[in-house]
Amino acid sequence: MSNFPSEKPVLVTCGLPYANGKCHIGHLRTYIPADIFVRSLHKQGQDATFVCGSDTHGTPIVVSAEQAGSTPEQFIEQYHHHFDEVFKNLGIKFDFFGSTNDPVNHNRTNEIVNKLIENNYVYPKKIDLAYCPHCERSLPDRYVEGICPYCESQARGDECDQGCGRHLEPGEILKPICKVCGSNAEYRKQEHFFFRLSSFKDFLMEHLDTLGGTANSRNYAREWVQNELRDWCITRNLEWGVRFPGHEDLVVYVWVDAPIGYISFTEEYCNNAGLDWQQIWQGDSRIIHFIGLDIAYHHCIFWPAMLKGAGYSLPWAVIASGMVKIEDKTFSKSRGYVVWVNDDYLDHGFHPDLLRYYLASYTSHTKELNFSWTVFQEKVNNELVGSLGNFLHRTLHFANKNFGRVPEGQVSPDVLAEIRETIQNVTEAMDEYEFKKAIDTIMSLSAYGNTHFQSNEPWHMIKQDPDACKRVVKDCLQIAKALVLLCEPVIPAKMKEAWEQLGLEGDVSKMTYNEALVELESGRALPKPAILFNKIDDKKIEEMEKIMNKRVAEAKAKEEKTTSAPPQVQEITFEDFKTMDIRIGTVVLAENIKDSDKLLKLQVDIGEPEPRQVVAGIAQTHEPGEIVDRQVVVVANMKPAKLFGVESNGMIMAADEDGAVLLQPEKQVENGTSVR
């Protein structure tokens, strides 16, 4: 049984893009499937409202704007436009794309916060807050860095991002350092406001049991709810943001007003369209959030608790997508592992639909997706060009050339049954947010079409048995019509063209799947078809890979520069130097390490009862045989490390010049002699 269509109003949202940087392919992992889902809902006869908008508040934007010598207003404006434009170019069709800085959102946030206060879910508390005496200001969230009180890792003010992953409340972080000027911050008592998240524990456990969507988000949230739910500080000392009611010096935390954007965008859209937004947000409705897994915590814990506390409708489903990687590395702008949607894709003349197809069909929605230009090319050339494009073209071309119109005859029952089953399976897959499965199912209908065409050989029939030929062509045209309807959610622009090539009228995006079972009208004229999808040649892909490799190389070079520079400038004391235990030793054994090009495993006698095992990165310049019996300089108190699974308890010193040039004592000395 399919979930749709439903009597209840349906709202679909996407995690708000943060107006602090350009759109890259990683973003699209959420937006494209959401758009496909909404288009598919329409095809199932389900009305749905689809909203999104820019997330414009919070500390990072203030910091970025300051660095850019701009105001936050100006700063967010450019990225808001950027995302809006990119989404339009990709066929991601929001009913409304707003901004959390819109007055409607300020109002709605105020209303909700007041409601929470009224319902006694908010209380004031004096807490220690980081304050920078040098900059003379309070340091919220990411203005401050320090040590996580739970795991002792380096952490940001609001989250232990390098360690245990916990959300940190203001005042928790140890050894705070001002991120703006780098000086030590101090703690000062200040009054802030807290949301009684802890009182929602039972409610949340229940909510998570009934919440729909993908399991990854629920499971993730459940663990947090079970362990500990602490009250949540919802105010910040910032100028930029939504004012906390009654306190001129405070704004609400960005994670309060950002999701409220979902409500205010719905409001703005509905008010413009003459609809009732309260049916969705205060009535019995289906609210569906598409997000990245990294914000599951907010959407499955904070957000439902806030909605409950203020008397709003709860989310019906949360769908969390997996991350996008490049060559097995997670996206990272600073490391160069990024593919920009404009610069690296659209500007090179690639059609948006190809990317939509690739991202949605590569792997399950909840799994990681490893971006690769060659796989992109492979999928486009084999599936879109070879199978789908070719079937549509050979069918339309053959029909147009021989008949010029849709031939007479009935579509065979087998073909209709096949189409019916495909629709059924695609709908089910969409219901489960299995976009890859849905697309694979559609592609197998395309393969079925090709086989049908091939095995009946209409090009022979046309001479021997024209009537039989007409039946086959009619079958194939019907399959083509079905394919166009089924593919429209995924590759809308291309299917709009194909719809016209079938000689059909109306907006294909507004047709339902059931239209695929309506037989084409015999005698209807068929225009001359044009090719829909072209192969991507190897040269183009090589070019794209080159661009990507270059960026990664540049980023790596930059990284090395920044990491290797400090030791040269930083002075150390003699005391510091004495902390190193450097000794002379003799290599007694050396061997290669399997699978490693650069490493050798050495046993070095440094005057201890047993030789030390040390792994050295010198295999490219030294054969194991040539260094046995040689004396070397060893840092003996290195922290043990595992390299290629081999333990290393020291470091061999070498000059770093296109490989390794080993240091050696001037003359033979006793093993274990220390160096100073």
Partner RNA sequence: AGCGGGGUGGGGUAGUCAGGAAAUCCCGACGGGCUCAUAACCCGUAGAUCCAUGGUUCGAAUCCAUGCCCCGCUACCA
| Strands 286-292 vs 10-14: parallel, antiparallel or unpaired | parallel
Which of 109, 285, 387, 586 is in the footprint of RNA by CB under 7 A? 387
Q: Is 179 strand, coil or helix?
A: coil
User: Is the CB of 121 or the CB of 453 nearer to RNA?
Assistant: 453
Site for RNA in 337-376 (CB under 7 A): 337, 363-364, 366-368, 370, 375
Distance CA(266)–CA(310), nearest Å, equals 17
User: Is the CB of 282 or the CB of 534 nearer to RNA?
Assistant: 534
Question: Is 383 a binder of RNA (CB under 7 A)?
Answer: yes
| Strands 324-326 vs 369-371: parallel, antiparallel or unpaired | parallel
DSSP state of 33: H
DSSP state of 337: B
Question: Is 617 a binder of RNA (CB under 7 A)?
Answer: no
User: Is the CB of 194 or the CB of 376 nearer to RNA?
Assistant: 376
- For residue 421, which amino acid is it? E
Least distance to RNA, CB of residue 655, Å: 27
Which of 421, 542, 559, 626 is in the footprint of RNA by CB under 7 A? 559
Q: Does a cis peptide bond (omega within 30 degrees of 0) precede residue 5?
A: yes
Which of 393, 470, 481, 551 is in the footprint of RNA by CB under 7 A? 393
Alpha helices in 119-178 (DSSP H): none
Least distance to RNA, CB of residue 160, Å: 8
User: Is the CB of 330 or the CB of 549 nearer to RNA?
Assistant: 330
Closest by alpha carbon to 164, among 173, 155, 174, 177?
155
Please name every residue paired with 320 in a beta bridge, in sequence order, or none if there are none.
Answer: 291
Least distance to RNA, CB of residue 178, Å: 13
User: Is the CB of 148 or the CB of 310 nearer to RNA?
Assistant: 148
Question: Is 57 a binder of RNA (CB under 7 A)?
Answer: no
User: Is the CB of 273 or the CB of 447 nearer to RNA?
Assistant: 447
Question: Is 325 a binder of RNA (CB under 7 A)?
Answer: yes
Distance CA(366)–CA(352), nearest Å, equals 22
User: Is the CB of 250 or the CB of 295 nearer to RNA?
Assistant: 295
Least distance to RNA, CB of residue 257, Å: 16
* Main-chain phi, psi angles of 514, to 5 degrees: -60, -25
Distance CA(673)–CA(495), nearest Å, equals 77
Q: Which region among 95-103, 383-391, 546-554, 564-572 touches RNA (by CB under 7 A)?
A: 383-391
User: Is the CB of 93 or the CB of 329 nearer to RNA?
Assistant: 329
Locate the DSSP E strands across 29-183: 49-54, 96-99, 122-132, 137-138, 144-147, 154-156, 174-178
Token pair of 258 as six digits: 């950002």
Site for RNA in 220-249 (CB under 7 A): 223
Distance in angstroms between the alpha carbons of the first and the last residue of the chain: 78
* Main-chain phi, psi angles of 329, to 5 degrees: -110, 140
The number of CA neighbours under 13 Å toward the Cβ of 442 is 33
Q: Where do we find the tokens 């220690």?
A: 128
Question: Is 336 a binder of RNA (CB under 7 A)?
Answer: no
User: Is the CB of 190 or the CB of 377 nearer to RNA?
Assistant: 377
Least distance to RNA, CB of residue 62, Å: 9
User: Is the CB of 161 or the CB of 515 nearer to RNA?
Assistant: 161
Which of 8, 137, 308, 329 is in the footprint of RNA by CB under 7 A? 329
Least distance to RNA, CB of residue 658, Å: 24
User: Is the CB of 327 or the CB of 467 nearer to RNA?
Assistant: 327
| Strands 154-156 vs 122-132: parallel, antiparallel or unpaired | unpaired
Instruction: Give the CA dihedral 659, 664, 666, 668, nearest 10 degrees.
Output: -150
* Main-chain phi, psi angles of 516, to 5 degrees: -65, -20
Site for RNA in 66-125 (CB under 7 A): 67
Question: Is 20 a binder of RNA (CB under 7 A)?
Answer: yes
Site pattern 181..210 for RNA (x: CB under 7 A):
------------------------------
DSSP state of 322: P
User: Is the CB of 21 or the CB of 617 nearer to RNA?
Assistant: 21
* Main-chain phi, psi angles of 276, to 5 degrees: -105, 105
Which of 39, 82, 351, 394 is in the footprint of RNA by CB under 7 A? 394
Site for RNA in 406-465 (CB under 7 A): 434, 436-437, 440, 443-444, 447, 450-451, 453-455, 457, 459-460
Least distance to RNA, CB of residue 654, Å: 24
Which of 93, 535, 598, 630 is in the footprint of RNA by CB under 7 A? 535
User: Is the CB of 180 or the CB of 675 nearer to RNA?
Assistant: 180
Helix axis angle, 435-456 to 352-361, nearest 10°: 110
Q: Which region among 24-32, 241-249, 277-285, 350-358 touches RNA (by CB under 7 A)?
A: 24-32
Site for RNA in 126-185 (CB under 7 A): 142, 151, 153-154, 156, 161-165
Least distance to RNA, CB of residue 327, Å: 8
Site for RNA in 492-531 (CB under 7 A): 531
Least distance to RNA, CB of residue 310, Å: 23
**Residue 626 neighbours by CB under 8 Å, 6+ apart:** none
Count the residues of the shown chain that bind RNA, applying the rule CB under 7 A. 89
User: Is the CB of 346 or the CB of 646 nearer to RNA?
Assistant: 646
Which of 397, 420, 496, 630 is in the footprint of RNA by CB under 7 A? 397
CB 130 within 8 A of CB 173: yes
Token pair of 407 as six digits: 């031939």
Q: Is 676 strand, coil or helix?
A: coil
Least distance to RNA, CB of residue 560, Å: 11
Distance CA(330)–CA(323), nearest Å, equals 7
Tally of residues, the chain: 676
User: Is the CB of 454 or the CB of 620 nearer to RNA?
Assistant: 454
Least distance to RNA, CB of residue 383, Å: 6
Query: Rg for the chain (alpha carbons), in Å?
Result: 31
User: Is the CB of 410 or the CB of 451 nearer to RNA?
Assistant: 451
Site pattern 278..297 for RNA (x: CB under 7 A):
-------------xx-xx--
The number of CA neighbours under 13 Å toward the Cβ of 234 is 32
| Strands 612-616 vs 646-648: parallel, antiparallel or unpaired | unpaired
Token pair of 333 as six digits: 């702008």
Q: Where do we find the tokens 């940190």?
A: 168
Q: Where do we find the tokens 């003996």?
A: 636
Question: Is 592 a binder of RNA (CB under 7 A)?
Answer: no
Which of 546, 644, 665, 669 is in the footprint of RNA by CB under 7 A? 644
